[in-house]
């Protein structure tokens, strides 16, 4: 069961647009945050929460819910926007991002926001946490699925590959790792800093099923996630989602300067105008 109907692709596009508007506005209001990698995740999160994952906002601790862990925790504005859209939090909270005492911290903090599956932001750790929930499902004989999102810069961390080796060896079919492959990290392009390519081949070598998709195309995102959730072949799934950092805001797209810089008020206004003009 889920608390949402099956949304059409056009409906998903409208949700994604609202989330992008929320992301730009909340980071602008905070005066700090990470717009680039938040905007690149939007279609992936939209498809998960409004089409693929089994969850219920009215019962957030439901034992059989699917789990989502945002390992690239600095991209949390997109997750908070998703929670607001899905009914897990009051949308009015979004403008408290990064404020003292707000449940919406600059990196996900489960002590402040209990609906989170994990506190994240120490890069490289989320896949290991996801392995823990995937193993727990097997031990408890439950059929929920765990989805973990990592960044392509993040997978330079060695712990990711230890986790990948473990998950493949232990046949964790109930685990999916989504790589937000937006080709940038904090201070530049991934290929110039420590290029992890070829990413899909590396996961395949660790006994994972792999798929490479356009991470902004629902016609590719939805089937890849649905196939991962339904898989019973004894392999975890890695989805390499090719995305654009800053997607939807032309002056942020493919510009590493927008990894961790908040837009100024006039830039927020410009981004909002551009996004609204692109409405479905």
- As a whole number, mean pLDDT of residues 42-54 equals 98
What's the burial of 58, exposed, middle or buried (CB within 10 Å: 0-12/13-18/19+)?
exposed
pLDDT at 1 over 50: no
pLDDT at 50 over 70: yes
Any idea what the CATH number is for the domain that residue 94 is in? 3.40.50.970
pLDDT at 261 over 60: yes
What's the pLDDT score for residue 4?
58
Tell me how far apart the alpha carbons of residues 75 and 40 are, in angstroms, rounded to a whole number.
9
What three-state secondary structure class fits 159? helix
Per the domain annotation, does 1 fall within a domain?
no
The number of domains in the chain is 1
Per the domain annotation, does 190 fall within a domain?
yes
- Token pair belonging to 174: 């109930």
Torsional sign, CA 179, 180, 181, 183: negative
- Tens digits of per-residue pLDDT, 107-149? 999 999 999 999 999 999 999 999 999 999 999 999 999 999 9
Q: If we measure between CA atoms, which residue out of 246, 278, 270 comes closest to residue 259? A: 246
Say what the pTM is: 0.97
Contact 268, 28 (CB under 8 A): yes
pLDDT at 65 over 90: yes
Range of the domain at 57: 9-277
Q: How many residues does the chain have?
A: 280
Per the domain annotation, does 254 fall within a domain?
yes
- Token pair belonging to 233: 């072949």
CB-based contacts of 56-63 (< 8 A; 24+ apart in sequence): 56/1, 56/2, 56/3, 57/3, 57/86, 57/87, 57/88, 58/3, 58/87, 60/88, 60/114, 60/115, 63/140, 63/142, 63/144
Per the domain annotation, does 3 fall within a domain?
no
Query: Measured between alpha carbons, how far apart are the two ends of the chain, in Å?
Result: 28
- Tens digits of per-residue pLDDT, 75-86? 999 999 999 999
Contact 65, 145 (CB under 8 A): no
Which alpha helices (H) appear in 9-125, and where do they start and end?
A: 9-30, 35-39, 42-47, 76-86
What's the pLDDT score for residue 6?
76
Per the domain annotation, does 256 fall within a domain?
yes
Per the domain annotation, does 2 fall within a domain?
no
What one-character-per-residue DSSP string does 29-49 give?
HHT---HHHHHTTHHHHHHII
Other C-beta atoms within 10 Å of 7: how many? 18
């Amino acid at each position: 069961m889920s608390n949402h109907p099956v949304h059409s692709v056009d409906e998903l596009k409208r949700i994604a647009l609202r989330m992008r508007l929320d992301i730009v506005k909340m980071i602008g209001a905070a005066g700090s945050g990470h717009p680039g990698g938040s905007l690149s995740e939007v279609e992936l999160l939209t498809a998960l929460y409004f089409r693929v994952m089994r969850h219920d906002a009215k019962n957030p601790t439901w034992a059989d819910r699917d789990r989502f862990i945002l390992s690239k925790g600095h991209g949390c504005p997109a997750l908070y926007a998703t929670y607001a859209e899905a009914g897990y939090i009051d949308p009015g909270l979004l403008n408290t991002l990064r404020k003292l005492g707000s449940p919406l911290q600059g990196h996900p903090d489960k002590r402040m926001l209990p609906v989170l599956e994990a506190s994240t932001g120490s890069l490289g750790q989320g896949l290991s946490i996801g392995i823990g929930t995937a193993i727990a499902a097997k031990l408890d004989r439950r059929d929920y699925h765990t989805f973990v999102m990592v960044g392509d810069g993040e997978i330079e961390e060695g712990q990711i590959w230890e986790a990948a080796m473990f998950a493949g060896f232990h046949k964790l079919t109930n685990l999916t790792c989504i790589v937000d492959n937006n080709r940038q990290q904090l201070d530049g392009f991934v290929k110039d800093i420590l290029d992890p390519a070829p990413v899909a081949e590396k996961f395949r070598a660790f006994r994972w099923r792999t798929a490479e998709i356009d991470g902004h195309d629902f016609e590719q995102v939805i089937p890849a996630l649905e196939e991962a959730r339904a898989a019973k072949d004894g392999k975890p799934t890695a989805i390499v989602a090719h995305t654009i950092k800053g997607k939807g805001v032309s002056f942020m797209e493919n510009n590493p300067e927008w990894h961790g810089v908040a837009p100024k008020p006039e830039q927020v206004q410009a981004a909002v105008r551009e996004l609204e003009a692109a409405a479905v």
